[in-house]
Amino acid sequence: MATGSVDILIVGTGASGAAAAWRLSEAGFKVVCLEQGDWQQTDQYPAAHADWEFRGATSFAFDPNIRKLPEDYPVNDSESDIAPLMFNAVGGSTIHWTAHTPRFHPSDFRVKSLDGVADDWPISYFDLEKYFDLNDEWMGCSGISGDPANPPRSPRPMPPLPLGPDGERIARGFDKLGWHWWPSDSYINSQPYRGRNACNNCGPNGLGCYQKAKGSTDVTYLPEAIKNGVEVRTGARVFEITTDPDGRATGVMYYDSEGIEHHQTAKAVILAANGIGTPRLMLLSKSKHHPDGIANSSGLVGKNLMFHPYAMVTGLFADAEPNTFQGALGNIVVSQEFYETHSRRDFVRGYSYQMNRSSGPAKTATGLTITPVGWGEGHHAEFAERFGKSSLLAVISEDLPEEHNRVELDTKLKDSNGIPSPKVSYRVSKNTRKLLDHGIRNAEKVLEAAGAHKTETNPMLRGGGWHLMGTARMGEDPTGSVVDAHCQSHDVDNLFIIDGSVFVTSGAVNPTPTIQAIALWAADHIINERQDLKS
């Protein structure tokens, strides 16, 4: 079934797709967004229910292979050290994120020049700076200026979320060692903002926010985009980017929720389906002009997959701070003391620390990041030693690009429409392992300085694949990259990629603000330079 043509067709409504839809529609482009999932009902989020931990481990789990909802597609991760995590819905994975939102550093764009590894980006932090600021305004950033680990910034729209007594305790640990810490930047309202409530500190902000205090794109960019005329079409599973005889994009083929095929035509296609979904769709889109998948003349589509391997170090404290499982989960204290290369270390680049609060009772017992509480004699005593008496430091490591870490099409596994699923092959490098081990040792020092009487470590969290980057990288050379500095495909001039796939390096912080800044940057390029795509 064919539908009327539009100017811009965007695949995905998550962090990048929604931001671009708003920006382009503001400029008068006719935009349709196709989303595999559906709109979420806030009263159905796990955080709104007493059994939130059970729901968060089943139907609302981070891992689509556990969730297995109709809108999910399975991922073959049997050859990966890390399980990829994503969420299909209007708002994408911003529904599920904790909204901890530090920016990339200027050095993250110049890794080759500074450290002799990976590659430099064709753009800089300062190219994106005004888009970082714009995105902070629209998503709603709570934070405070003056962090010495980052360039000077304009004031955030809101003050930072409160550290809480547990956050203050960890901050004192960093202070005793003379190491950097700073209140986290968060896309969570510390006060009412743009018609959305302030955070009520219920705790599990990674499981949906029924207060709408968290800046997911379904409550930030998309309502404004829809006012501008953007159509958000849900239940749309895209399986091919179509092309004309010259190899240019003409639109996409997709199945609706009833399994009926549709062809949506457009003057340009923008992919915003995350660092696994985007290369999967590109590899599926083969034709005479694109025998190895669309825009893949470099052979790099799906390659150079980067995560942020996480180590988790938990400290147990003798005295409980009140209600340490309450308050935003991972939006408290960040440290970038060990962010960049140092000649005294036996690895390049570095890592960040992100503090997490203690878990609820179920995850305390089952051991989310440490060994489960044992059954039998001593169970209650061990549970009491942990519950409300723990804090966690996550070591977020920079992950350097390697071509053997990749996404490809699985030869057997398929989704419910019979479309080949992605297969992920990924191994942690020696450099990353050294980096994580260094971070673990220093995290133990911080927790002990903060008063922990015991620490336990998960040396690498297998279920930590929140950040999906690098699989359609940006660059000036068409033989060594997939898109140019403005996210336009080298091979197909009306195909753009604006999600984490375009990352050249991964940094050592959550990538979403940088993804969104890039999406806005690319949208402005289309507005200013591609008026041929506008009706």
Does the domain at 2-357+389-533 match CATH 3.50.50.60? Answer given as: yes
Confidence at residue 389, expressed as pLDDT on a 0 to 100 scale: 86
Confidence at residue 383, expressed as pLDDT on a 0 to 100 scale: 86
Query: Please, are residues 324 and 388 in contact by the beta-carbon 8 Å criterion?
Result: yes
* Whole-Å CA distances, 166 to 133, 366, 384: 30, 22, 17
Burial class (CB in 10 A: 0-12, 13-18, 19+), 149: middle
pTM here?
A: 0.97
* Residues 370-396: b if buried by 16+ CB within 10 A, e if exposed: beebeeeeeeeebeebbbbbbbbbbbb
52/40 Cα distance (integer angstroms): 16
Mention every residue, 6+ apart, whose C-beta is less than 8 A from residue 227: none
* Residues 238-262: b if buried by 16+ CB within 10 A, e if exposed: bbbbbbeeebbbbbbbbbeeeeeeb
Confidence at residue 4, expressed as pLDDT on a 0 to 100 scale: 78
Locate the domains of the chain by residue range: 2-357+389-533
340/498 Cα distance (integer angstroms): 26
Query: Please, are residues 7 and 534 in contact by the beta-carbon 8 Å criterion?
Result: yes
284/347 Cα distance (integer angstroms): 37
The dihedral of CA 86, 8, 237, 48: what is its sign? positive
Helix (DSSP H) and strand (DSSP E) numbers for the chain: 12, 16
Mention every residue, 6+ apart, whose C-beta is less than 8 A from residue 347: 431, 432, 434, 435, 438
Give per-10-residue mean pLDDT for the chain (535 aa). 83 98 98 97 91 91 95 97 97 95 97 97 98 98 96 95 93 98 97 96 90 96 98 98 97 97 98 98 97 98 97 89 75 96 95 91 78 88 85 96 98 97 98 97 98 94 94 98 98 98 98 98 98 94
Classified as helix, coil or strand, 112 is helix
- Ranges of beta strands (E only) in 415-507 are 420-426, 454-458, 495-497
Q: How does strand 182-183 pair with strand 261-271?
A: unpaired
* Whole-Å CA distances, 503 to 12, 177, 530: 18, 34, 23
36 — phi, psi (to 5°)? -70, -35
Rg (CA), the chain: 22
Confidence at residue 511, expressed as pLDDT on a 0 to 100 scale: 97
Confidence at residue 321, expressed as pLDDT on a 0 to 100 scale: 66
Neighbours of 344 (CB within 10 A): 4
Q: Cα–Cα–Cα angle for 275, 254, 73, nearest 5°?
A: 45
